[in-house]
Amino acid sequence: MAFVATRESVFEIILKDGFKIEPGSTFICGFHGLGEVGFLSTAHLTRTLNAERVGFIKSDMLPLFVSMENDRLVLPFEIYSYAEKNMIFFVPRFQPHQSEQWSWIDRLAKWIIDCRFSEILLLGGLDSSFKEDNEDMRCVPTTAYRPMLEKWSVPLLEEGLFVAGPLALLLAELEMRDVPAIGLLTYATRGRPDPRSAATMLGRINQVYDIKADVDQLLEESKEIERLEKMRKSIESDDRSSDMFV
């Protein structure tokens, strides 16, 4: 498969030869934040929708790892297309290196603007200890996204809480450039991957965009993680109890 680079620099987006992003498409990405919700959600969308891999991102600090998935070599930062709904997914299997996060996110934001996406969805997790009602998620929209906010029926993030990491940087860059973007945050468990939270995210995206991303695998993974977590806590509890006696 032939590929061509869209820019010459230390940050380079490489797209499949002949592939062009349609203006008005939807851009979706999520990083490895709390509960790894953003990454799990985005990666699962590409798999369950059979999205086509159409490009990569490389930089001077590209992680020195590759792996195999479904008999194919996968790279740290990949771009996928779901043509049926004009969706573009960015799947970061690692966080951008801390030393280049500012410039990396700045270049990504400029590329997003150049592609003329109609909206940008940035997916992430929110510490479940902050949950105070029956809502399962919160949102952080840019000013330009406000006219589209109603379709989500998601409350705004409470004042005093913060978004952190690459997702926060990207939201800030897009706000400064007056780009319609929204951070979608589902409540997640701190300290471990939370596929159940990712399934909640996909359920809402399915509803809003009328797609059928299957969440059964995520729910099964969640049950297994929760089972192992209960087992670990039970063992730790037994160990503490035995420490009380000599």
pLDDT band, very low/low/confident/very high, at 48 (cuts 50, 70, 90): very high
Task: Please report whether residue 238 resides in a domain.
Answer: no
Helix 216-242 / helix 195-209 crossing angle, nearest 10 deg: 160
Task: Please report whether residue 222 resides in a domain.
Answer: no
- pLDDT given for residue 8 in this prediction: 47
Tell me what the pLDDT averaged over the chain comes to: 87
- Mean pLDDT of the region 24-29: 97
Task: Please report whether residue 56 resides in a domain.
Answer: yes
Task: Please report whether residue 2 resides in a domain.
Answer: no
Task: Please report whether residue 43 resides in a domain.
Answer: yes
Task: Please report whether residue 210 resides in a domain.
Answer: yes
Domain of 138 in residue numbering reads as 8-215
* pLDDT higher than 80, residue 165: yes
Tally the domains of the chain: 1
- Reduced to 3 states, what is the DSSP secondary structure of residue 79? strand
pLDDT in tens, 98-150: 878 888 999 999 999 999 999 999 999 999 988 888 889 999 999 999 999 99
Does pTM surpass 0.95? Answer: no
HSE toward the beta carbon, residue 179, CA cutoff 13 A:
29
Whole-angstrom distance, CA of residue 17 vs CA of residue 6 = 10
183 vs 6: which has the higher pLDDT: 183
Task: Please report whether residue 141 resides in a domain.
Answer: yes
Q: What is the CATH number of the domain that holds 146?
A: 3.40.50.10900
pLDDT band, very low/low/confident/very high, at 200 (cuts 50, 70, 90): very high
Task: Please report whether residue 223 resides in a domain.
Answer: no
